[in-house]
Every structure is written in structure tokens, then in C-alpha cells.
Structure 1
Amino acid sequence: MPRSGTRIPYQEAARELLRASVLDAMRDLLTERDWSKITLGDVAGRAGVSRQTLYNEFGSRSGLAQSYALRLADDLVDHVDAAITGNVGDVRAAFREGMTNFFVDAAADPLVQSLLAGEVKLDLLRLITLDAGPLLDQATRRLSLAFQHSWVAATAAESDIIAHALVRIALSYIPTPPGPGRDAPAELSALLSPYVEAILSARIEH
């Protein structure tokens, strides 16, 4: 029986598996010690690959951290996408649920915990501030598709606006988590939902 779906080329599948294994190994190490005390050799050893393989794929320690941060940005998209699917017609609930789940996961992520603990880590901070371009671009592009190809059915331009705003705001909360008494997901939902609700209303009127 032929399998349905698009076949992923072997080399691409192998590379995705390698990257996932290395990033998982990095996460494991981060649960044991601070990022400042982890070397590429440590990650390679935990992942069961050579240091040269690690260098070939990620280029440097900074490149490895950026790839990990990109996966964190993908988690944001996955949470919001799932919330959109699970809250048909209720954009406020979708935003609130998606952001809540992302903030919970981000707070538990060992790289984020490493960023917030101990001495200031400028290399990690830059990944989500001055050097956040790759994260913003990837997450915005993916999230824009979620707004286009769901019940929201926003145009490409509309989807890009809301996705870019949501990603920028969400990432800004990582180095400076909301203080006690602040319900960030509810606040963000109240702020961003009217834009999407206006899109839905305009479509109904026409």
C-alpha cells in the first residue's frame, strides 16, 4: 500500500533528526547546569555526535543557542495555532489560551530559566532582542499562515500585521516576565482581539 502525504527526502529527514537530537541534548544539559557552563563538546557528547558534526550544523555556540531559541518561537506558533483550532469563532479565547500555554512552557524552559538566573547573559539576551530578527521572521511567517488558513481567514496582509505584533509582544515578555497580579494572556487578548474581530465583522457585512 502506498503511503499518503509528501515524502521527505532522506537527507532532509536525517538533518531534522540530528538537529532535534542535539537541541534535546542541550535542553537536558540545561536542566543540570547553567548555559555559561555548557560547551559544544558537552552537547556533542550528550547527543552522541562528534564536535565537528555540531560545528558543521550550527557553526558556533551562538548558532546552537539561536537554533534553540527558534524552536522556542515555534512553540509559540504551535500553541496559538492549536488555540485557534480549538476555539472556533472566539478569538479572545484563542489568544488567551494560546498565550497562557506559551507563557507556562516558556517559564519552564531551562534556557529561559538560565537567562533569568544568576549573572546577566548578554549572548542569550541578544537572541530575543537585538538579534531577534530570525525568530521574528520565522514565527511571524508561520503564524500568519495560521490566521489565513483557519476560520479567521484573514488576508495575507492582515495576517502578517497581527502575527508580527503578537510575536514581538510575546517574545518581549521572556526576559521581563509579568509581575504578580498581572494576567498577561488576558491583557494581550483584550489588546489584540479587536483587530481580528473587525476583520470577521467586515467579512460578514460583505
Structure 2
Amino acid sequence: MPRTGPRVPYQEAARLLLRTSVLDGMRELLVERDWAKITLGDVATRAGVSRQTLYNEFGSRAGLAQAYALRLADDLVDHVHTAIDGNVGDARAAFREGLAGFFLDAATDPLVQSLLSGEAKLDLLRLITLDAGPLLAHATDRLAGAFENSWVDATRAESEILAQALVRIALSYIPTPPGPGHNAPAELSELLAPYVEAILSAKDRR
């Protein structure tokens, strides 16, 4: 079968596979026990790599935890990006669908569950609160690209405003979810969609 799409360099593909295996292994361990009781050796063994390989890729225990949190942010971007592609011209449906998918996935994540139960240690909680800068910057940049290079066709400045607001609000719901009676995806859609609709309306008037 002929290959389609751009060719991924071998080293990049190998690194992506390594990170996926390690972070999947960490997720499995978090289901079994608290982060405080998981060593880098445990993660390396579960992922089938050496401890030195783990150190080379993530640098430290904190680096591994940050990479896990970054993947949570990537999940948000992927859900919203897919929903944008699947709901051309309908910003409200795109935000509703994308955020609903993200919140559903996040609710089953062991790190998020430990945050909600109050069992998470401060170092993990800080990753999506006080020390969330790298997380926000990474997700905002990726999501801005989705708004800029889709039917939304927003400018880079508009895309960054929208992406940063969505990422900040969505991630803030992780440690402090809304109370009963609130439909977070629908409410956030009502808040964010008018910005996209204004962008589209301005283009129609030109």
C-alpha cells in the first residue's frame, strides 16, 4: 500500500513511541497506587525501558510528571480540533462536542481522579495550577493553530486570544469542577462561540 501524508523521520517517530509507552506505563501505575509510591524505576520497568533512557528523555521525576500533564493538555487540543473539523460553520456545536469529549476523558484519568479525591500531592497539583505556565503555553499554541488554519480562519492574534481563554478555563475545571446542575461544555460554548461568530460575521461583511 502506498504511504500517505508527510514522512516522519525515524528518530522523531522512535521518540514519540518511547514517550507514549512511558506515559502509558505511568498511567497504569497511577491506577494501582499513589504517585508518591511510584519510582522512576517502576515506570521504566512498566514501559520496558532502562532507567537511563527515562532520565535521558524526561530528566527527572518532575519532568516525567510535567510530560504527563502536558499530554492531558494535548488531549484537550485534540478533542477541540477534531470537533472543529467535524462541525464546519457551527462554533457552538464544535465547542460543546470538543469540551464534552475532553471532560469525559479527563474524568477517567487517574491523575485527575487523585486531584478530585484530595489524594494528589502538591507537586502534581501545582502542575495544572501555580506551575501551569508550560502547559498553558503549549496547549494555547497548538489550539491557536487549529483556529487559524480551519474554517474559523481567525488571525493569529484572534486565535491566541480564543485559544488561551479556552485552555485556561477548561484546565481550571479539572481541580474544581462545576457543581450539580451545570453543563460545563454547553455553558462554555455559550461563552466562547460568540467570539468565533463575530469573526465569521466580520468576514461576511467584507
Task: Determine if contact 1:35/1:114 at 8 Å carries over to the other structure.
Answer: no
The structural deviation recorded for 1:56 is: 1.2
> What residue is the counterpart of 1:105 in the other structure?
105
Quote how far apart the aligned CAs of 1:93 are: 0.9
Equivalent residues in 2 for 1:119-130 (5 A)? 119-130=119-130
Q: Secondary structure of the equivalent of 2:92? A: helix
The amino acid across from 2:61 in the alignment is R
User: 2:176 maps to what in 1?
Assistant: 176
* Pair 1:3–1:119, CA change in 2 (3 A): closer
Partner amino acid for 2:46? R
Q: Does the C-alpha gap of structure 1 residues 109 and 120 become closer, same or farther in structure 2, counting only changes over 3 Å? A: closer
Instruction: Give the structure 1 partner of residue 197 of structure 2.
Output: 197
Amino acid at match of 2:52: Q
> Which stretch shifts more, 2-11 or 83-92?
2-11
Please report the TM-score for the alignment, with normalisation by the length of structure 2.
Answer: 0.95
The answer to whether the 8 A contact 2:111-2:120 is kept is no
Letter in structure 2 aligned against 1:24? D
Q: How many pairs are equivalent?
A: 206
Does the C-alpha gap of structure 1 residues 118 and 163 become closer, same or farther in structure 2, counting only changes over 3 Å?
Answer: closer
The TM-score normalised by the length of structure 1 is: 0.95
In structure 2, relative to structure 1, the CA distance for the partners of 1:166 and 1:122 (3 Å cut) is: same
CA deviations over 1:127-161 (Å, ceiling 9, x no partner): 01111111111111111111111111111111110
Q: 1:139 — aligned with what?
A: 139
User: What percent identity do the matched residue pairs reach?
Assistant: 79
- Cα distance between partner residues in 2 of 1:11 and 1:82: 27
Partner Cα separation in structure 2 for residue 76 and residue 149 of structure 1: 17
Q: How does 1:1-206 map to 2 (within 5 A)?
A: 3-206=3-206
Displacement after TM superposition at 1:115 (Å): 2.2
* Cα gap change, 1:39 to 1:198, in 2 (>3 Å): same
CA distance in 1, matches of 2:117, 2:37: 13
Structure 1 gap ranges (5+): none
Alignment check: 8 A CA contact 1:82 1:98 kept: yes
State the alpha-carbon separation in 1 of the partners of residues 186 and 133 from structure 2: 26
CA separation of 1:102 and 1:2: change in aligned 2, threshold 3 A: closer
- Ranges of 4+ aligned residues in structure 1 off by more than 4 Å: none
Deviation per CA, 1:27-73, whole angstroms, max 9, x where unpaired? 11111112222111110110111111111111111110110111110
RMSD: 1.3
Q: Which runs of 5+ in 2 are unaligned?
A: none
